[in-house]
Amino acid sequence: MMDKKVIDEFSQIVGPNNILIEDLDLFTYSYDASFLPLIPATKPDLVMKPHSTQEVARIMELANIYRIPVVARGLGSGRTGGSVPVNGGLVLCLDEMNKILEFDGENLTITVEPGVKTQDIYLYCAQRGLFYPPDPSSLKHSTIGGNIAENAGGPRAVKYGVTGNYVMGLEVVLADGSVLQTGGKMIKNVTGYDLTRLFVGSEGTLGVITQAILKLIPMPKRWRTVQVLFDSLEGACAAVSRAIKSGTIPVAAELMDQISLQAVAKFGNFSLDPNVKAGIIFEFDGDSETSLEEQTGGVQKICAEYGSIQFRIAMTQEEETELWSLRRGLSSAVAALAPNRIAEDISVPRNALPEIVKRLRAIAVKYDLQMAIYGHAGDGNLHPSLLVDLSLPGEKEKVDLAVGEIFRAALAVGGTLSGEHGIGITKKEYITDALGETGVATIRSIKKALDPSGILNPGKIF
Amino acid sequence: MMDKKVIDEFSQIVGPNNILIEDLDLFTYSYDASFLPLIPATKPDLVMKPHSTQEVARIMELANIYRIPVVARGLGSGRTGGSVPVNGGLVLCLDEMNKILEFDGENLTITVEPGVKTQDIYLYCAQRGLFYPPDPSSLKHSTIGGNIAENAGGPRAVKYGVTGNYVMGLEVVLADGSVLQTGGKMIKNVTGYDLTRLFVGSEGTLGVITQAILKLIPMPKRWRTVQVLFDSLEGACAAVSRAIKSGTIPVAAELMDQISLQAVAKFGNFSLDPNVKAGIIFEFDGDSETSLEEQTGGVQKICAEYGSIQFRIAMTQEEETELWSLRRGLSSAVAALAPNRIAEDISVPRNALPEIVKRLRAIAVKYDLQMAIYGHAGDGNLHPSLLVDLSLPGEKEKVDLAVGEIFRAALAVGGTLSGEHGIGITKKEYITDALGETGVATIRSIKKALDPSGILNPGKIF
């Protein structure tokens, strides 16, 4: 617990209107969107809302002197407990550092504070003819700072990559309060180590991001959404791989298994042909109608070879929205099937999709648990979701064992623990399995070099 | 100098046929392709040619015990002295670890040893319908290990990015001989810090790369090369920016100023209209003739707005080769204009190109030195080249001052010291100007964490 005198010292940095200290307020900063229990709550001692890099720097300087843990966060949409203050201390909530600082239409960049919502960046750029592609499902309620800290992905990663591919430079407050600038607006830059990429995905354990320069690209002129239903999940996976290999790279290729599709059907009040075992929602983009027709035509042929039952091209804006809303509503629809839903986030080489699906099903059978499988088939990133009732005796133990097996299965086929959610708290016990002793020792040594007292988001990753 | 007994110990690891110890042999490992003086030679004490990761690991283990400097290198094509063994010790020449270990047409990856030549990777993949885009000018005589260590660029970076964008995973032998695996064939991976990107561009100072998994993409179906001549250098730069902003991203957009064009003309024995002040060689690719026509048509209009004098589309394979051979021969043609050529490698935000060109010209005038300006206009990476005679009294001093001003000019317009050649020895005195005290302290702390005894390529970067 922090001393009253110390709390006062911190409070003076941001002023009394920008701190939260009441128990109920602290409680609301004790959780994120992961599947961790809320009780007992891991509350911070103090929540601070800084409004400038200078304030963040002064906070870190003081925290470093007093050896107080600091957890930076945005809107708490994380899926692995990354922003949960497990050791108490300070929460730096950066949601009010939410200014778009510069839009540079010449160099195709935008410079933002960490608290800007991802969707706001997308819309701001889109109105000016440019495209910020990363689209985590949380884009309406997640901040860019969190996206960068977790290297968030999203459906469009197949063609356009993840958040990290769009971060050109950062301003970061380090553990001792010094302010680091990395990268810049240069497209090519090999001056010193790539610190920008080191901070991307470091889950708040190496510094507090206070500004980011993001890369933009020209907005594609046309889009097309296609829904394909298959008679097997394996066929659906294989069709996506084949399409990509043929040179047609969809913007997105979202996979849903039968349970997922049934959940959506139930939620949306329509019926589903029982022969349908899997579905893919493809999105394509291009500069001309011809290009879209070539892409959809080619993929239609490939899908037919792999057992497609229906190939539906959205012909209107409404149909497009309808198809995507199925996918966007999927997580909620699946969650509604059972009292608890434990959704994982494994990532495997794309050609290992059929094998991992087989192994996931075997795990579900072994533990007698219902499992929905959906995710980003275009890049091998799946979200196997256990649909359970944790109030049943023995259920939690079964779930824990099954989750462990899911991770081991991902590693066994050459994959990893997380495609886009990070490690946080929920996967840290598996980190050595994934990275090996040398890998963990290496990231630990970097952590120690940049944060010798271990005050930045302690208890995460390793 | 290394002790005879120690040299024997090292030699046993690779066997007597895989070491070089004669003075003349050692001399040939004392330089690279940079503009550093050859005499006095900075020779290693021993050159070793390992053939496996295990051998490299044993060498590093021993070097760490004896605190002997280790410089890893491939074919010595570096431009900043990165592989020059300034502190003597061991040179690990990895050119015989040159196997292509696996081509994975399903996941679109290739796994290689560090000594494979970059062009060999390109050709191997092209024959199988896949595309490895990075194309440093040295691609015929540089190895992938060196490309990764320097994060090499090339003309195609405008559309396809640099080497680092294609490195999915690495095997690296660390300073103490332990073997680290980073990344993998997963497209999305947020398990722990991004160690892959940390080693990319680290210039051999953090570990010895012994394997790399590279990302491939489908081979574009069609290519088109266009040469455009302009009545001003500023117009040429502006046309490239405008084209990219309009949504047409060329594969390459290679800029040449009047001096560069004249050099090429002289070399190729043709005459040049004196009104031509700059030229751009564009390359476009696409999946259809229509797409190529749309791209070239759009860019032709834009070029006309910015003072193009000639717009020549290569209609045959021969013409294409002819246009590109102009660009590929440029460096040699420019070098032939004077006894010595000092070519730099600055990188600036693309819209700062007209300003940096103005500043570069002012520097040439101030020091009364001839300067050719050429480079990758599409991504703001220029190679201003001083054409001098270092045997003249006072010339070297003038050149040193001019080079310092070139770097300061790049930094002043928001750019950096190096776009694709790295820092090595030749730019290290400017590193703090570029990264700031905090930046240098941060990379130093990482270096110390991973190589506490400082045996890996000492004397480079900082």
Contact between chains at A194 and B201 (C-beta distance less than 8 A) = yes
B221-332: which CATH architecture?
Answer: 2-Layer Sandwich (3.30)
Residues in B closer than 8 angstroms to A157, CB to CB, are 187-188
A221-330 against A338-422: fold identical? yes
Contact with chain A for residue B276, Cβ under 8 A: no
CB atoms within 10 A of CB B21: 15
Min distance A177 CA to chain B CA atoms (Å) = 11
Task: Dump pLDDT digits (tens) for A242-284.
Answer: 999 888 999 999 999 999 999 999 888 888 899 999 999 999 9
Distances (CA, A) of A100 to A96, A115, A214, A267: 12, 9, 11, 38
Is B108 close to A245, i.e. CB distance below 8 A?
yes
With CA atoms as reference, report the closest residue to A295 among A361, A358, A244. A244
- Report the C-alpha gap between B83 and B458 in whole angstroms: 10
How far apart are alpha carbons A71 and B312 in whole angstroms? 58
For tokens 């074919």, the residue is B75
Q: In this model, does residue A433 exceed pLDDT 90?
A: yes
Short-list A204, A209, A205, A201, CA closest to A181: A209
Alpha-carbon gap: A405 to the closest alpha carbon of chain B (Å)? 17
Whether the per-residue pLDDT at A288 is higher than 90: the answer is no
Whether B440 and chain A come into contact, CB under 8 Å, resolves to yes
Q: What is the mean pLDDT of chain B?
A: 95
Instruction: Reduce the DSSP state of residue B349 to 3 states and report it.
Output: coil
**Tokens 């191997």 belong to residue:** B124
pLDDT, tens digit, for every residue of A28-54? 999 999 988 888 999 999 999 999 999
C-alpha to C-alpha distances, A67 to A1, A2, A345, A446, nearest whole angstrom = 12, 11, 33, 19
* Residues found in chain B: 462
Shortest CB distance from A445 goes to which of B151, B247, B450? B450
- Check B194 against A181: CB less than 8 A apart: no
Of B191, B241, B438, the CB nearest to A418: B191
For residue A329, pLDDT beyond 90:
no
In CATH, what class is A221-330?
alpha beta
User: Domain A4-93 class?
Assistant: alpha beta
pLDDT attached to residue A268: 81
* CA gap B167, B148 in Å, rounded: 8
Indicate yes or no: CB of A190 within 8 angstroms of CB of B221: no
B443 CA: distance to closest CA in chain A (Å) = 6
pLDDT tens track for B430-457: 999 999 999 999 999 999 999 999 999 9
Hey, is the C-beta of B415 within 8 angstroms of any chain A C-beta? Answer: yes
pLDDT of A87-104, one tens digit each?
999 999 999 999 999 999
Give the pLDDT confidence score for residue B246 in this predicted structure.
Answer: 87
> For residue A40, is the peptide bond before it cis, meaning its omega torsion is within 30 degrees of 0?
yes
**CA B302 – CA B246 distance, rounded (Å):** 9
- Give the separation between CA B358 and CA A220, rounded to whole angstroms: 34
Distances (CA, A) of B301 to B1, B293, B308: 64, 12, 9
Instruction: State how far the Cα of A33 lies from the Cα of A35, in Å rounded to an integer.
Output: 7
CB contacts of A181 in chain B (<8 Å) are 435-436, 438-439
Report, as an integer, the average pLDDT of B46-58: 98
A interface mutation test: which of B174, B188, B448 has the most A CBs within 10 A?
A: B188
State the distance between the two ends of chain B, measured CA to CA, in whole angstroms: 24
Closest by CA to A88, choosing from A24, A42, A39, is: A42
Q: B residues 40-99 near A, CB within 8 Å?
A: none
Q: Return the half-sphere exposure (C-beta side, CA atoms, 13 A cut-off) of residue B305.
A: 13
Residue of chain A with shortest Cα separation from B462: A192
Question: How many separate helices (H) and strands (E) can be counted in chain B?
Answer: 14, 19
The ipTM estimated for the assembled molecules is: 0.96
What is d(CA B189, CA B183) in angstroms, rounded to the nearest whole number?
7
Spell out which residues of chain A touch residue B448, defining contact as CB-CB under 8 Å: 449
pLDDT of A138:
93
Q: How far is A370 from chain B (nearest CA, A)?
A: 26
A443 CB near a chain B CB, below 8 Å? yes
Express each pLDDT in A98-153 by its tens digit: 999 999 999 999 999 999 999 999 999 999 999 999 999 999 999 999 999 999 99
B180, B181, B431 ranked by CB distance to A192: nearest = B431
In order of A322, A333, B296, B351, the CA distances from A268 in angstroms are 11, 9, 47, 50
pLDDT beyond 90 at B245? no
Q: From the CA of B396, how many Å to the nearest CA of chain A?
A: 25
Six-digit token string for A305: 């070879």
* Residue B271: predicted pLDDT: 87
CB-defined contacts A:B, below 8 A: 264
CATH number, span B338-452 = 3.30.70.2740
Q: Chain A contacts of B379, Cβ < 8 Å?
A: 187-188
pLDDT at A427: 95
DSSP state of A18: G
Q: How close A306 comes to chain B (CA, Å)?
A: 16
- Does the beta-carbon distance from A420 to B244 stay under 8 Å? no
Distance between CA atoms of residues B118 and B137, nearest Å: 10
Percentage of residues in chain B having pLDDT higher than 90: 89
> Which helix (H) or strand (E) covers residue B347, if one does?
strand B346-347
Quick check: B203 and B457 in contact, CB under 8 A?
yes
DSSP notation for A368-414: T-EEEEEEEGGGTEEEEEEEE-TTSTTHHHHHHHHHHHHHHHHHHTT
Question: In CATH, what is the architecture of A338-422?
Answer: 2-Layer Sandwich (3.30)
Contacts of B341 (CB under 8 A, 6+ apart): B35, B334, B335, B385, B386, B387, B388
- What mean pLDDT do residues A372-401 have? 95
- To the nearest whole angstrom, how far is the Cα of B244 from the nearest Cα of chain A? 8
Longest CA–CA separation in chain B, Å? 71
Contacts of A203 (CB under 8 A, 6+ apart): A82, A149, A150, A422, A423, A424, A457, A460, A461
pLDDT in tens, B124-183: 999 999 999 999 999 999 999 999 999 999 999 999 999 999 999 999 999 999 999 999
Residues of B in contact with A195 (CB under 8 A): 439, 442-443
B325 pLDDT more than 90: no
Mean pLDDT of chain A: 95
What is the percent of chain B where pLDDT is above 70?
100
Please say if the pLDDT value at position B247 is more than 90: no
Rounded-to-integer distance, Cα A346 and Cα B344, Å: 44
Chain B residues touching A202 at Cβ < 8 A? 193
Provide CATH code, domain A100-218. Answer: 3.30.465.10
Amino acid identity at A449: A
What is the model's pLDDT at position A80? Answer: 95
pLDDT of B105 reads: 93
Q: Give the minimum alpha-carbon distance from B25 to chain A in angstroms, rounded to a whole number.
A: 31
Alpha-carbon distances, residue A338 vs A263, A372, A397, B161, B433 (angstroms): 11, 11, 17, 45, 58
Mutation site, A190, A205, A284, interface B, largest B CB count within 10 A? A190
Q: CB of A172 within 8 Å of any CB in chain B? A: no
How far is the C-alpha of B435 from the C-alpha of B448, rounded, in Å? 18
Provide the 3-class DSSP secondary structure of residue B387. strand
* Mean pLDDT of the region A329-357: 92
Place of tokens 């949409």: A77
Name the percent of chain A in helix, strand, coil, to the closest 5. 40, 20, 40
Contact B186 A245 (CB under 8 A): no
> Hunting for tokens 């961790």 — which residue is that?
A36
Interface test with A, best of B190, B196, B448 (most A CBs within 10 A): B190
Strand partners, A387: A341, A370
User: Chain A contacts of B217, Cβ < 8 Å?
Assistant: 249
B132 CB neighbour count, 10 Å cutoff: 24
Q: Which of residues 207-236 of A touch B (CB under 8 A)?
A: 217-219, 221
- List chain A domain ranges: 4-93, 100-218, 221-330, 338-422
On the CB side of B113, CA atoms within 13 Å amount to 18
Band of pLDDT at residue A1, cut at 50, 70 and 90: confident
Partner-chain contact B434 A192, CB within 8 Å: yes
Lookup: tokens for B283: 């390359």
Residue B312: helix, strand or coil by DSSP? strand
Q: Coil, strand, or helix at residue B351?
A: helix
Q: Are B215 and B291 in contact (CB under 8 A)?
A: no
What value does the CA radius of gyration of chain A take, rounded to a whole number of Å?
A: 23
For residue B127, give the H/E element and its range: none
Angstrom distance (rounded) from CA A96 to CA B86 = 50
Q: Which residues of chain A make contact with B249, given a CB cutoff of 8 A?
A: 217-218
Average pLDDT for B340-368 = 94
- Residue of A195, A218, A247 with shortest CB distance to B442: A195
